[in-house]
Chains A and B, each alone.
Chain A
């Protein structure tokens, strides 16, 4: 492990770390445009120039300087300040004064670094060189070549990450501009990432174009619910309305990227097919009234036809907490209820899969539900459910989140169906009781992605309409069934889950952190105490 010095602060870093990252570990921010932690080093913006005190020759660019023993750099000398100001002046020479109409304003590195390191007056006496503005180069991207500072991040992204190579730098010197080849357009499904990595306003998101100035938005960390990868996202919202998703860095899951399908899925939060109110046999009613009606039906079915006439289908699209709370509620009231897990994709899932991020399984929590089913030990699969429905023994079926009827195809419908879901589908159409389930970005909870990584969800906006988190609906159902002792809060349900499902032993919701935590591959045989996350007295 090489030890380096940044402004006199000694840090020990992993071998191969460059000096921008090493400085970050020492708490020193080195300004940069072209460097990106998940892209190859290009070293063409020159903004990260630093003085080398010992162990090399300087000034040199920090992004291309690997940490080695004895290396000492300084970022606070007059020389470095002068270099930064000169680089800023150089980059801004031909930059248009577009800030009032530029979507990047507020999160623009040129603005930030000008205020920090530039503060110069333009000395340009000649006309600015202008390049083509407002080019429509992709389904999600508008290119403004005039604003480009030729950092080549986007070129490297399309070469190295998506490996499609549509973008290139054309022309030379001041006339350099990025662009696509004539007659072509961006063809990959990660276009939104180009707008994210562009440090200036050259590549902007067409979907977000002129929707909101960035400084009005607040970001809440969450997880994308469109496939089993579970990309970490920031939910940008203002006054209860979500304006965009941005990938949140998690090197173990999605690095800094996310696909366009997930990125645009924020629109589903306010989609017309959202289930916003509870519906019983007599039409729309309050959530509690519908839960009471459903509980009465569960009681009657269990009394008249035995426990086996009541069934529950766990939801691969619902959180760990919703599934566990629902399972516990039903098992507590009707111990012999039959539980099933039907895997597969719903009709509203998008039809695209690749080996970069987009997983073939379009449900965010299949792995978590499998672990819960394993721990329960008596959960049937789709075939078992089909058989149970065919012999007519299953009279009342509770379905959580998934479009089970569409997944099963042609089956004999149960006598009565209850659906706890977020969006209307074939199952909700057929259901006698429909309960509105809050979307993943509106609840506290967790998803387990295909790697077995439990990732935390935090509510960004209030739940739409009457919808409620799954564990709250489950607790309501349990209360209506006469079971009062079950926890209703997400942390409490997760605690209960971690105490009963071996793969989750030792985990706690608050202890998941920003990067999530892996479940136990080989579950421990006895309970592991959860880490104490309370602050020290």
Chain B
């Protein structure tokens, strides 16, 4: 049963809320003036997508598969990540490598990024430090659903900026470019 909790007693003057409303407006006005006068200090304006924010080191971005010194992925297809994944977005097909002393490797390793909820459990569950989310990539996008199923070849040592750049796309599909965009001389972008 819902229980009524009595609020504080208010006087008739307080019940009009004039003072409170003005108080709120005053705070907004105060900040507006301060920000207009010191815009450079108080705002970090990033000209996205021409410039991109560098994410903190522990930001959970797109997954990458780490590699051993010999260039093979560290993953041994133990399925711990697939097991712990609450979104069930990891699909691994295991295989045997006859020449490798590690014996087992993932023939295919796919993450359906449309399903991923970025909880990072896969990173924690991995006994081999084979999967990390330290790429800092937050633009996980694609032109088809298939683009968003990241596979082993794509995730192997994924570095920031491996996704196709917008100018590459606009060069091939000028009709998609925003108005006034010069395909021949795109504006240089920083932050990559």
Contact = CB atoms under 8 A, between A and B. Distances in A.
Nearest to B104: A101
Contact of A210 (B80, B95, B127): B95
A99 B95 CA distance: 16
B103 interface: yes
Interface in A507-526: none
Nearest to B77: A210
Contacts of A81: none
B78 A134 contact: no
A215 B79 CA distance: 10
B76 A101 contact: yes
B179 interface: no
A210 B79 contact: no
A100 B127 contact: yes
Contacts of A100: 76, 78, 80, 104, 127-128
B75 to A, nearest CB: 9
Nearest to B92: A213
B114 interface: no
A213 B84 CA distance: 14
A386 interface: no
Interface in B69-90: 76-80, 83
Shortest beta-carbon contacts, A-B, top 4: A100-B78, A101-B104, A210-B94, A213-B79
Interface of B is mostly: loop
A133 B95 CA distance: 17
B102 interface: yes
A151 to B, nearest CB: 23
Residue picked from A100, A133, A216, most chain B C-beta under 10 Å:
A100
B182 interface: no
A54 B101 CA distance: 52
A188 interface: no
B43 to A, nearest CB: 48
Contacts of A109: none
Q: Interface SS of chain A: helix, strand, loop or mixed?
A: loop
B96 interface: yes
A216 B92 CA distance: 13
Contacts of B96: 209-210
Contact of B102 (A99, A101, A105, A213): A101
A211 B92 CA distance: 11
Contacts of A213: 78-79, 83
A215 B80 CA distance: 11
A216 B91 CA distance: 13
Contacts of A105: 78
Q: Which of the four size classes fits the interface of chain A?
A: 10 to 19
Contacts of B77: 101, 210
Q: Chain B CB within 10 Å — which of A99, A134, A210 has the most?
A: A210
B103 to A, nearest CB: 5
Interface of B: 76-80, 83, 94-96, 101-104, 127-128
Contacts of B103: 101, 133-134
A175 B95 CA distance: 30
Contacts of A99: 78, 127
B66 to A, nearest CB: 15
Contacts of A133: 101, 103
Nearest to B107: A210
Contacts of B104: 100-101, 210
Interface in A182-234: 209-211, 213, 215-216
Interface string A85-107: 00000000000000111000100
A209 B96 CA distance: 8
A134 B98 CA distance: 10
Contacts of B79: 213, 216
A210 B107 CA distance: 11
Given A101-B76, A213-B83, 9 more contacts: A99-B127, A100-B127, A105-B78, A133-B101, A133-B103, A210-B77, A210-B94, A213-B78, A216-B79
A134 B76 CA distance: 16
Nearest to A98: B103
Contacts of B78: 99-101, 105, 213
19 contacts: A99-B78, A99-B127, A100-B76, A100-B78, A100-B80, A100-B104, A100-B127, A100-B128, A101-B76, A101-B77, A101-B78, A101-B103, A101-B104, A105-B78, A133-B101, A133-B103, A210-B96, A210-B104, A213-B78
A105 B77 CA distance: 13
A216 B95 CA distance: 17
Contacts of B83: 213, 215
A401 B70 CA distance: 55
A250 to B, nearest CB: 32
A211 B79 CA distance: 12
B96 to A, nearest CB: 6
Nearest to B93: A210
Nearest to B127: A100
A211 to B, nearest CB: 8
Nearest to B98: A134
A99 B127 CA distance: 10
Contacts of A101: 76-78, 102-104
A204 B103 CA distance: 13
A70 B76 CA distance: 53
